Structure 1
Amino acid sequence: MRIAIVTDAWFPQVNGVVRTLDTVRRELEGQGHVVEVIGPDRFRTIPCPTYPEIRLALFPMKRLIAALDAFAPDALHLPTEGPLGMAGKKLAVKRRWPFTTSFHTKFPEYLHARTGIPAAWSYAFLRRFHNAADRIMVATPSLEAELDQRGFRNIVRFSRGADLELFRPREPLPLDLPKPVFAYVGRVAVEKNIGAFLALDLPGSKLIVGDGPQREELQRQYPKAHFIGAKHGEDLARAYSAADVFVFPSRTDTFGLVVLEALACGVPVAAYPVTGPRDILSEAAQPVGALSEDLREAALAALKVDRAACREHALRYSWSAAAGQFLDALALIREEARA
């Protein structure tokens, strides 16, 4: 199958959406499918307001049409709701092409945190975008239930996985921090709610692995926390392994790949009982972390969790299975298109 993915999130951005799409692309190509990713790197771009690290394609329709016509896809997937996603939707509707979308990010909550724009306004826009698709892929049951209540339709499951070879219990980075070590890994940005973690009264040390627009502010505000910047590959896996507990303070992520990576490294997770962590942790046969509206309580409870159980639970999540779900959704659409 020839699969076109038109996405506003692509390299050189590094985030959960990009990592998900890139990993699924490689899985599908390994099965013999041809995948063409059309991202902002092919277009003239401008920085996203309030988020300059993200580049938005400027007037992309003409080049997008040329790229899709040259590729001649059997299936079209639009995972983002930015200029490229909107152009892809407009073209698909005009040509009566079936297409799928995926709901990766709670942008209404992000926008509200950054600008104060009511989330209901943004959800109305997202509903119009996604409900035009033949399938909306979501990662978890709780996100499916939430979107269903908000009027989203034709929802199917597209879970996530972890690189279980890379992310495994390892020799930790030699950080020489007082124990226990409570760690966060990810973008250092306001929507990640990292301040809620850093403000906790916890023993030992707080470790922040990652970079982003809020790093300097948080470093000034919490000088006792240890910020070591972004890590990749084996250094990232060793950074996870340096933690006694992984603290995930976000309330807006739809899954949280970092939660799964921490578990794969044998690190228990503390989080709020929200979409993503609630789904991942509640599916475990035995405790692999703790959920609570009192994040301090969850962090301290997670210290008692068996690290071997965390690794065992993470083994249930594979990228090959996730890619199979993705492919199944596309195959269903093609069958309907032939009917």
Structure 2
Amino acid sequence: MRIIVISDAWHPQINGVVTTLTNTRRALEKSGHTVQIITPDRFRTWPCPGYPAVGLSFLCGPRLRPLIEDFKSDAIHLATEGPIGFAARRYCREKGIPYTTSYHSHFHHYLKLRAGVPYSVSWTYLRWFHSRSHRVMVSTESLADELAFKGFRRLVRWSRGVDTELFRPWGKAFLRDERPIFLYAGRIAIEKNVEAFLRLDLPGTRYLVGDGPQRQELELKYPQARFVGYQSGESLARYMAAADILVFPSRTDTFGLVMLEALACGVPVAAYPLSGIRDVIRNDRVGVLEDDLRQAALKALSLDPQDCRRYAQEFSWETCSRQFLENLIPHAMGTA
């Protein structure tokens, strides 16, 4: 099958959307499928307000259309609701081409926190964007329930995986600071609630792997913490494996792929007991979920790293890619 995926998020961004699309494409191509991902690097971009490192491809429609037409795809998937996703939706609607979409991020939280956009405005746009999708792919059952309550329809599962060969127990010697080492990995931005982690009264050392618009502010405010910037590949896996606990302070994530990566490294998770997180940490032997994040982090120190590793091995990108493929709607199956 020839598949086009449209995404407003792509490298050099490091986030769950990019990781999911990269690994899904790799697994699909290994199975003999051809996948083209159309991303902002094909177009002129403008800095995202409040997050200039992310480029937005406004007015990309005239250049997007020939890219779609020349590829002669069997199926089209819109992975994000940004400007490229918007233009692709418009093209598919005009041409009567069926398409699927996926809901990755709670953008209504992001827009509220960064720009004060009312939730009602964001939800109205998101419902509209997905309203004519033949299937809306979501990562967890609780997210499907939440979106169904908000009026979304045709919701199907598209889970996540983890590369257990890359993310594995590399050993603790990589980091030589005072232990225990509590680590946060991800975007350093207001919607990730990173400061909740930094405010915790914890023993040992705190590490932050990642970058983002809040990094400079928080680095100045919390000089005792170790900020090491974006890491990827083996470097990221080694930082992860060298920690004692992954602390996941976000209250807005729909999945939290980094939790699976930590577990694959044999590192337990401490997080808030929210619905999306419960879908990932379904076993109390691999993570502690409490409203008191400090207590969760301290209790997680007693968990067995081998249990974490075994749990993560249940998730694979091959399974994820099969779900994605089964959810697609080939053009020949109908019109939008």
How does the TM-score come out when normalised to structure 1? 0.96
Match of 2:285 among 259, 284, 287: 287
Is the partner of 1:23 in helix, strand or coil? Answer: helix
How far apart, in 1, do the equivalents of 2:275 and 2:243 lie?
A: 23
The answer to whether the 8 A contact 1:8-1:82 is kept is yes
How far apart, in 2, do the equivalents of 1:107 and 1:17 lie?
A: 13
The answer to whether the 8 A contact 2:58-2:83 is kept is yes
Match of 1:296 among 294, 301, 305: 294
Residue 77 of structure 1 and its aligned partner are, at CA, apart by 0.3
Residues 209-266 of structure 1, C-alpha deviations (whole Å, 9 max, x = no match): 1122211111111111111222222221111111111000011111111100000000
Q: How many residues of Structure 1 are paired with residues of Structure 2 in the alignment? A: 335
Residues 156-188 of structure 1, C-alpha deviations (whole Å, 9 max, x = no match): 000000111000111235332111111111111
Is the partner of 2:27 in helix, strand or coil? Answer: helix
The residue that corresponds to 1:20 in the other structure is: 20
The residue that corresponds to 1:245 in the other structure is: 245
The residue that corresponds to 1:57 in the other structure is: 57
> Percent identity between the aligned chains?
52
The residue that corresponds to 1:147 in the other structure is: 147
The residue that corresponds to 1:45 in the other structure is: 45
Report the aligned-residue RMSD: 1.4
How far apart, in 2, do the equivalents of 1:237 and 1:202 lie?
A: 23
How far apart, in 2, do the equivalents of 1:296 and 1:136 lie?
A: 36
How far apart, in 2, do the equivalents of 1:68 and 1:53 lie?
A: 26
Residue 79 and residue 173 in structure 1: after superposition, are their counterparts in 2 closer, same or farther (change >3 A)? Answer: farther
The residue that corresponds to 2:111 in the other structure is: 111
Q: Is the aligned partner of 1:322 residue 2:328?
A: no
Residue 335 of structure 1 and its aligned partner are, at CA, apart by 7.0
The residue that corresponds to 1:132 in the other structure is: 132
The residue that corresponds to 1:194 in the other structure is: 194
How far apart, in 1, do the equivalents of 2:99 and 2:232 lie?
A: 33
**Aligned runs of 1:155-166 on 2, under 5 Å?**
155-166=155-166
Residue 319 of structure 1 and its aligned partner are, at CA, apart by 0.2
The residue that corresponds to 1:306 in the other structure is: 304
Is the partner of 1:137 in helix, strand or coil? Answer: strand
The residue that corresponds to 1:8 in the other structure is: 8
The answer to whether the 8 A contact 1:173-1:238 is kept is no
How far apart, in 1, do the equivalents of 2:261 and 2:64 lie?
A: 35
How far apart, in 1, do the equivalents of 2:273 and 2:2 lie?
A: 39
Structure 1 range deviating more: 245-254 or 10-19: 10-19
The answer to whether the 8 A contact 1:188-1:210 is kept is yes
Structure 1 range deviating more: 136-145 or 168-177: 168-177
Residue 210 and residue 93 in structure 1: after superposition, are their counterparts in 2 closer, same or farther (change >3 A)? Answer: same
Residues 283-321 of structure 1, C-alpha deviations (whole Å, 9 max, x = no match): x3x510100111111111111111111001000100000
Residue 334 of structure 1 and its aligned partner are, at CA, apart by 5.4
How far apart, in 1, do the equivalents of 2:199 and 2:38 lie?
A: 41
The residue that corresponds to 2:210 in the other structure is: 210
Residue 103 of structure 1 and its aligned partner are, at CA, apart by 0.5
Could you say which structure has the greater relative contact order, defined with CA pairs below 8 angstroms and 6 or more residues apart? 2
How does the TM-score come out when normalised to structure 2? 0.96
Unpaired segments ≥5 residues, structure 1: none
Residue 175 and residue 267 in structure 1: after superposition, are their counterparts in 2 closer, same or farther (change >3 A)? Answer: same
Is the partner of 1:228 in helix, strand or coil? Answer: strand
Is the partner of 2:281 in helix, strand or coil? Answer: helix
AA aligned opposite 1:157? R
